[in-house]
Structures are given as C-alpha cells and as structure tokens.
Structure 1
Amino acid sequence: MKIASHLFVHLSLLVIVSCYGGNGYDPLENALKIQRSRRTTLNHASKDLEVKYSYSQVYVGPQDGLKDADKITKLPGQPAGVDFDQYSGYVTVDPIHGRALFYYLAESPVNSSTNPLVLWLNGGPGCSSFGGGAMMELGPFRVNTDNATLSRNKHAWNNVANVLFLESPAGVGFSYSNTSSDYITDDVQTAKDSYTFLINWLERFPEYKTRDFYIAGESYAGHYVPQLAKLILQNNKIANQTVINLKGIALGNAYVDDETENTGMYDYFWTHAIISDEIHEGIISNCNFSEGATITDACNEYQKQAYAAKSNVYFYDIYAPLCSPFSNSTPSISRFDPCTGNYILGYLNTPVVQQSLHAKPVHWESCNDFIGAHWKDMPFTVLPVIQDLMASGISVWIYSGDTDGRVPVTTSRYSINKLQTTVETPWYPWMYQGEVGGYVVGYQNLTFVTIRGAGHFVPSYQPGRALAFFTSFLEGKLPANH
C-alpha cells in the first residue's frame, strides 16, 4: 500500500477517538468489553497463561547519520533556558510492510552521559506515550492553555534519567505502517516490534548500549512492559545479539490480571462510596470473574447498575473535577488541569510542531480506538510473566495512585496476593516534604508503592511524589520513611 493510502487509513482510524482519560472516554474498558465478549463466545480460556515467544532474526537497518537528523533544534513555544538535548523521529521495524515507530528522547540536564536510560510506555491499548506520557505526565514540558506554548515541568523524570518515549504499536500517535493490516495487532507482535525498535535505536544511539536500562509504564502497559522485559532477557542469551542491560521494570496502575481488575474495581467503588451495599452484594453474589467462568445475566445487570451509579465521576481520578467551563470553580486535590488533553491535542496538530518533531503530517490523536477494538489476543493474566521476571533478579516495582478508579489500588493489591510472595519489609508510610507521600511494602523480589492523592496518570496528579518514588526505584532503595 502506498504512503498516500497509508495516510488515508491512518486518518480514518483516528476520526472517532477522544482524549485519553477524557470524561466518559475509557479505552481500556472498551477493549476489555470486546475481549470479554470474545471469550464468552468462544467459551475458552487463554491458550496459555504465559506468553510464548519464538526467536526470529531481528531486523537491523542502517542508522548512520539518523541521530543527528533526529535532534530537535527547538520545540515551538518552549520556554527559554532549556538545558538538555531532545531527539525524535522514526525507527523502522519492518521495511517490507513499511512499519515505523515514533520516539521522543528527553536527555537529562545533568549527568546525561552516566544516567540510566528509561523506556516509557503508555497503555490503551492504542494510546500515545508521547502525548500522554511526555506531554501530560512525566516529560519535561506541559502544554499551556493557549495550545501553542510550553511550560517547564520541574518534576520531570529526565531530571534523574534519560527518558525514551515510544509510540507503540504502529497506528498509535505518530507511529505508522504502510500496510493497513498491521493496525490489527496483539501483545506478542507489540513486544517484538518494541524489541526491534530498541535494537535499532541502540545502533542509532550507541552510547546507550551499555547503559543501565529500565522500562516503566502504566495501565495496559501492565501487559506491554513485562512481556517486553521477558523478551529482552530471553534474547540477551542469544550469541551475537545486542545485550540490553535491563535492570528493572515499574508498572503503574497496571492492568495485569482480568479477575483482579474486576474484583478490585468494584470493591474500590464500594469502599469509596460510589456504589451501594446492594449493588456490591449483587456483584459478589452473582459474579465469577475467574478465567473460563460464565458471566451470568444477573452479573451483567449488577455491573450495569454499578456503572450507572458511578454517573459522571471522572474514572481515572475519582476526586478530580471534569473538564468543563466550570472546572476552575471546583478545587482539585492535585491541582491538575482536567482540560490538559485538549491543549495537547491542539499543540500536536500544529503543522510547525509536527515539523519540529520530524513527524509525518497526520491528524494526531491521543488514542486510536481501532487498535483497541481489533486487538487480536489479550492474555487473561500476565502474572506468570511477572513471576518469571521476579525470579530473574531484575527489580520489579508495582506502583499505584490511590484515587484511580480505573485500575485501582485494590486491584494491584489483589494481583500481588496472587503472586504469593512473602513480605520482607512490612507496610509503612513513606514521606515527601514532611508529608505522607504514600505507602510501601517490600516483598521478596517485588516492591509495591502507593502514591497518595494520585489518579491513574500518577505523574500528572502528584509530580513531586512521583519523581521521588521514581528516584527510589532507580536507586534500588525503598522510599524513605522520614
């Protein structure tokens, strides 16, 4: 398929999407509904609890001169005094299909030559790591209300690491393919493409080849991150293959297990006064969310009642105001502007901005619903993959903003219980600037951290606390209790 056709397909796929986390828009729930209905129709459990990868030769393309071409001279509207280097562009992962993934790298202002490299992945499936992760959460800039200028995020994660944001899979954000069938994909292909991206990106940026490497992400990246980490560890054992120096992973408000996602969410609704005792009891009495179980009509009815009772509470941060003309009149715990997604949408669809990013002209959207709706295979659980990673010796952290209703703290705790690991450091409050930043418990081969007052997009709502926990993660130390 020619590039012109690709652009038409890419545009057509993105027409009906909305801002990630926008009021009433829930890409994860949309994808899960489709997957759950397929499981019911096919009446089968996942083929295998553990995602299997068969090694195939990884494409490595020529990278000479591409790093210099990718350097960003200046982002339109960026504030004065930017003291770090930025790069963005495309890495081809399949030259036959014309599949290329877009990245943005924000290097550290200080110690960039020695600081670790962190890959950040947003979820969805189908949502942008650049628009969401970089521009709304942990990147160096925030988009101002004029859709045209940027402010510095003083709590950006590139203060302590060189952060690489990857738009994955193809069809998300600025990433694309010249073959439209590539937009129908799954977990396994996404992991393979992300791995191919890394191998080629390290050829383009060889100074990072021996650097400590971490992967972090949130939401459906609870699938992406552990699967990619497992693939890296597996391929590191192959002779003559680039060894990626993976040290650890961090999973934020992560969808890792479908049973605990359901039980944890409805228990959270009940304990946070969103649903009644009667609805909660109806769900407990009528719903079996375990793999292979039949979801009864009574269960579906009580779930509908739960969603109706929730009304228009913002799912991703239950105490946040909605984006509306009156939003400024409602105080927010985190002071995060609920209309930020609209500013990002306007900024990233400005032609001069896309040119400065070396991006192909496209109508950029934060999420691509087509990808989530046509996801081919979504394992019921990735907990066995996480167990393998825990046993491998790398650092495994799970963190949770405690005001998220989408993948709430209860879900994370129930998932950890299924891992059946033992407590080494009992639950305690960790401190940030004289206040409780959250709570932490150290397990054998696993750390669990909560971030107080943060919703689904943790660094958006509590940027200072998020940077503090992230710094502890990189240092391999539990957050301080004083």
Structure 2
Amino acid sequence: MKGFSLGLLFWNSGHMVRRRELCRYFMQPCIGLEFWTSVEKCRRCARRNPEHTKSGVKHAGNPITNDYYDSKGLAEYAWSHAVVSDEVYDRIKKYCNFKNSNWSDDCSAAMDIVYSQYREIDIYNIYAPKCLLNQTSPSSAAQAFFENDQEHFRRRIHMFSGYDPCYSSYAEDYFNKQEVQKAFHANISGLLPGKWHVCSDSILNSYNFSVFSVLPIYSKLIKAGLRVWLYSGDADGRVPVIGSRYCVEALGLPTKTQWQPWYLDKQVAGRFVEYQGMSMVTVRGAGHLVPLNKPAEGLTLINTFLRGEQLPTHR
C-alpha cells in the first residue's frame, strides 16, 4: 500500500486508545503491517523512513483522551443537550472534582443520575432510536442485570466506553456461528465452554492497564513530526465533542486555520479547526460510531486524511 506511510490508527475504541499506543505503518520497505508499543519506536521509524511520513497519525475517533476533560465534557454535554436538569448539573459542578480518579460519594450520586437518564436513550447517539432488539439476548440480559446493580452499572458504563448491546447482539450471533469460528481458526475442537461474548466482565473487572491522560503522548507524536487528526461525532453522549475540544485546547498548539464548516454534497458535514500538527474535526449528526451513522462523511474524512488534503470548505 505504497504512499500510506507512517500512521497511528484508533477506531472509536474508548479507553483502549489510552491503554496501548499502537504505531502502525503501510509502506514499501515493510511487508504488511507493523505494530509498536512505544512512541520512541514510532519516532525511530519516522527517522529511518523520512519519505514515508506524509500520512502521519491516523484519525483518533471519539477517543477518551483525558479523564478530567472527558468527564467534565460528558456532564456538560448531558446538561447542554437537555438530558439532565439544571439542578443535577449544579450538583455535579458543586461536588465533582474530575481531576481526582476516585469520585466522592456525592459526585458519584450526581453522575449516577446522568447515567440513569442515558439508560432511556442511546448514549452513543443521543438522537438515534434506542435499541430494543432481542431483549432476551445474553447481552441484553447482562445489561439488565447491571442496571439493577447501580454501582456496577456506573463502573461499567464509565470504563467500557465503546459498548452497545444492539451491536453486541449482532456480533455475538455472528461470531458464535460454527462456520465463522472455523474460518477464524477459533474453538476448532468445539469443546470450549459457553459462548463467545463481546464484553467479558472477568476481563473488564481485572483490567488495570490504563492511564489518566494520553495528552503527553499526543504532544510527543506531534513533536516527532507526525500529523494527528481527532474526529468526533457531535451526537455522541459518551465521549462528547465538548470534552474532546477541551483536550485539544489543552495541548496549547498554535492555530493555523479557524473553526469552519466542511461540506459533502453541498451540505455542511461538520466543522474543523487546524492547529500546528493537529486537526480537530466534527461530523454533524454522527454518534460514537461515525462510519455507522454517517458512512459517506466517514469515508470522505479518511480519504482526505490519507491524501494529505484539507476537507472541502465550499459547497
């Protein structure tokens, strides 16, 4: 895939963005795909292959980036989009110091109200219909169980930021098919107990490889000469555009072009701002899963990035 050069690929993966930095690149000197788990290795690759650094760092899509800004943005977005009342938001502002990893009891109680309101709609796209498909599915039953356990449900929705029970139902039906598992060389014997599930609570509850912020990593990548695009669907309530804007602004990068709309088919598809080494892009009407909600806009976003171009600024 000549010309697609050095890149770091994040696909709407929530906390996974923070748990491991995967630097991958597609280039002629390399066979296929290489992954690295440190920024320094990415930088060494860039120095070894200067002719292949055009594409830079691939889109970071609705990523959780910094606990403080993302939590602050989640609460502010819920209030500003009429999900919670003024009184609830006032309680959050009074009791919540999101700079602390451990919330106070008063803060947790206030944020529980936010999460309880999001149970009634799709937090990943606040304007989409709530998924009511196959309420007896294992994933739906598990979700109902956690909703009855307030603390467990709050922890689950706080940590596992890319999970949706509807998509899980489709995925579980598909990946539990015998022919699919055979194609993936998985469970060849057919003797493994139970079924495959999208979300494993035993793994979730024991996982501790996380950090408070990846903003320092962004800074290092930008200083290494890599180009970063962070995009956000503006209807995502879980990793809202408000928090992402706080995160980008915290980097303190010089502004190259001001906040402006970009277009697709003569309609405003979103907005973007360009900084030195980084761009922040929104996708209008998309939720957490931009390619699912707005596939044409998502494709335009990817193609524009890979070509090293600017998003269309005219109808």
Which TM bucket (shorter chain)? 0.7 to 0.9
Shift of 1:238: 9.9
State the match for 1:367 in structure 2: 199
State the match for 2:184 in structure 1: 357
- Structure-1 separation of matches of 2:66 and 2:256: 24
Shift of 1:272: 0.4
Shift of 1:320: 1.2
State the match for 1:481 in structure 2: 313
Cα deviation code 1:392-428 (max 9, x no counterpart): 1111011000110100000100111211112210011
Equivalence map 1:29-48=2 (5 Å)? none
State the match for 1:139 in structure 2: none
Select 2:121's aligned residue among 280, 291, 313. 313
Shift of 1:208: 6.5
Cα deviation code 1:143-194 (max 9, x no counterpart): xxxxxxxxxxxxxxxxxxxxxxxxx9xxxxxxxxxxxxxxxxx93xx55xx6
Distance 1:309 1:125, change over 3 A: closer
Cα deviation code 1:20-71 (max 9, x no counterpart): xxxxxxxxxxxxxxxxxxxxxxxxxxxxxxxxxxxxxxxxxxxxxxxxxxxx
Distance 1:448 1:122, change over 3 A: closer
Residue 233 (str. 1) matches residue 42 (str. 2): yes
- Structure-2 separation of matches of 1:286 and 1:340: 35
3-state SS of the aligned residue for 2:59? Answer: strand
Shift of 1:478: 2.1
Q: How high is the sequence identity, in percent, across the aligned residues?
A: 31
State the match for 2:139 in structure 1: none
Distance 1:122 1:437, change over 3 A: closer
State the match for 1:116 in structure 2: 4
- Structure-2 separation of matches of 1:307 and 1:317: 14
Distance 1:304 1:122, change over 3 A: closer
CA contact (8 A) 2:11 2:60 kept: no
State the match for 2:81 in structure 1: 272
CA contact (8 A) 2:131 2:166 kept: yes
Select 1:412's aligned residue among 244, 248, 251. 244
CA contact (8 A) 1:260 1:411 kept: yes
3-state SS of the aligned residue for 1:377? Answer: coil
Residue 303 (str. 1) matches residue 132 (str. 2): no
- Structure-2 separation of matches of 1:291 and 1:115: 43
- Structure-1 separation of matches of 2:246 and 2:264: 26
TM-score, normalised via structure 1 length: 0.51
Distance 1:383 1:479, change over 3 A: same
- Structure-2 separation of matches of 1:208 and 1:432: 35
Shift of 1:360: 4.2
Distance 1:434 1:413, change over 3 A: same
One-letter code aligned to 2:170 = Y
State the match for 1:83 in structure 2: none
- Structure-2 separation of matches of 1:445 and 1:238: 17
One-letter code aligned to 1:230 = V
CA contact (8 A) 2:274 2:280 kept: yes
CA contact (8 A) 2:46 2:52 kept: no
State the match for 1:344 in structure 2: 171
Select 2:30's aligned residue among 176, 184, 209. 209
Aligned residues between the structures: 277
One-letter code aligned to 1:307 = Y
CA contact (8 A) 2:63 2:239 kept: yes
CA contact (8 A) 1:125 1:371 kept: no
- Structure-2 separation of matches of 1:260 and 1:438: 22
CA contact (8 A) 1:258 1:381 kept: yes
CA contact (8 A) 1:124 1:367 kept: no
- Structure-1 separation of matches of 2:63 and 2:29: 27
One-letter code aligned to 1:304 = D
CA contact (8 A) 2:230 2:281 kept: yes
Distance 1:122 1:279, change over 3 A: closer
- Structure-2 separation of matches of 1:395 and 1:367: 33
CA contact (8 A) 2:232 2:241 kept: yes
State the match for 2:60 in structure 1: 251
- Structure-2 separation of matches of 1:350 and 1:464: 30
State the match for 1:142 in structure 2: none
Distance 1:480 1:253, change over 3 A: same
Shift of 1:114: 3.4
Shift of 1:237: 8.0
State the match for 1:431 in structure 2: 263
Shift of 1:367: 2.8
One-letter code aligned to 2:4 = P
Cα deviation code 1:116-146 (max 9, x no counterpart): 37756563657xxxxxxxxxxxxxxxxxxxx
Equivalence map 1:56-95=2 (5 Å)? none
CA contact (8 A) 1:401 1:451 kept: yes
Shift of 1:233: 1.8
Shift of 1:380: 0.8
CA contact (8 A) 2:10 2:60 kept: no
- Structure-1 separation of matches of 2:268 and 2:221: 30
Unpaired runs of 5+ residues, structure 1, are 1-112, 127-167, 169-185, 216-226, 328-337
State the match for 1:5 in structure 2: none
